[in-house]
Amino acid sequence: MRTKTSLSVWGVFLAAGLLLSGCAHPGAAPVTSLDPRYRVGPVLFSDDFQRDNGQWVAELEKGGRVVIGAGKMEINVPGGCTVWFRPEITGPVMIEYDATVLQAGGVNDRVSDLNCFWMAQDARSPGDIFATHRSGQFADYDQLRCYYVGQGGNTNITTRFRRYIGVADNRPLLPENDLHDTAFLLKPNAKQHLQLVACGGLIQYYRDGRKIFELNDPTPYTHGWFALRTTWNHMIVENFSVRKLNQVD
């Protein structure tokens, strides 16, 4: 896993190639549409995490480990951690992956904060998410323009959806997007399948096929970057892909 401060020339070259090729896997199994307003199309990007192929960039507040190999990304960190998928993503798309928050007695085995940013741009460098330095501390991300879900935040007592507007110290939160019921929180050592939709103004977040959040955004973010986000956490991520969506009139 390369951190933001240790990118190799090869990693930059590889990223450019990925953007051109799209990492397409035409033979991937089809996915049933979750909503009649779109159909799920081909894979644009994917990572099976068999090896570190330069697609991810970690920003770590207090160090820790982000290791890719043997079919998984393992995040084991004592503080804030944001792991960016290097290629920019242009909608309409569905981003999906499996994630397991671990509780097995390790020092960072805290069941909390299975979070994500998608369609993200940084207001300080909107054309290049990597041109702005961020420390991994959560406040450094206030100036993103993006969609965000914090599942099992605040030591697993909240699950929240926000539309970031790119302003420091301002992360808008609508009351209906601040969930506390245990049905929306995290279970330790349980694999979850997550699906993030950005289809024009239709923004959705699904867990295990159940829709948790939906926003009809009149001024949507239609392209940007995806990142996994957590703090003081130990988790496994598997089976990452980005699929094209076709809007249905």
Cα(44)–Cα(24) distance, integer angstroms: 5
pLDDT of residue 84: 98
Using the predicted structure, report yes or no on whether residue 5 has a pLDDT greater than 80.
no
pLDDT band at 249 (very low <50, low <70, confident <90, very high): confident
pLDDT band at 25 (very low <50, low <70, confident <90, very high): very low
Higher pLDDT, 36 or 31: 36
> What number is the average pLDDT over the span 31-54?
95
Using the predicted structure, report yes or no on whether residue 8 has a pLDDT greater than 90.
no
Count: domains in the chain: 1
Query: CATH code at 189?
Result: 2.60.120.560
For 41-99, the DSSP string reads: EEEEEEE--SS--S-EEEEESS--EEEEETTEEEEEEEEEEEEEESS-EESSEEEEEEE
Q: By residue range, what is the domain housing residue 224?
A: 2-247
Running DSSP on this structure, what letter comes out for residue 30?
A: P
- 121-162 residue pLDDT tens: 999 999 999 999 999 999 999 999 999 999 999 999 999 999
pLDDT of residue 110: 97
Retrieve residue 86's tokens. 């290097």
- 195-231 residue pLDDT tens: 999 999 999 999 999 999 999 999 999 999 999 999 9
Higher pLDDT, 24 or 240: 240
Query: Cα–Cα–Cα angle for 179, 66, 119, nearest 5°?
Result: 50
Running DSSP on this structure, what letter comes out for residue 167?
A: B
Average pLDDT over all residues of the chain = 90
Which pTM value belongs to this model? Answer: 0.89
Using the predicted structure, report yes or no on whether residue 46 has a pLDDT greater than 80.
yes
> What number is the average pLDDT over the span 49-58?
97
pLDDT of residue 60: 98
Which of 200, 212, 122, 209 has its CA nearest to residue 160? 212
Are the CB atoms for 142 and 167 separated by under 8 Å?
Answer: yes
Per DSSP, the three-state class of 141 is helix
- 68-126 residue pLDDT tens: 999 999 999 999 999 999 999 999 999 999 999 999 999 999 999 999 999 999 999 99
Those residues with Cβ within 8 angstroms of residue 2's Cβ, 6 or more apart along the chain or in another chain: 8, 11, 52, 54, 56, 57, 58
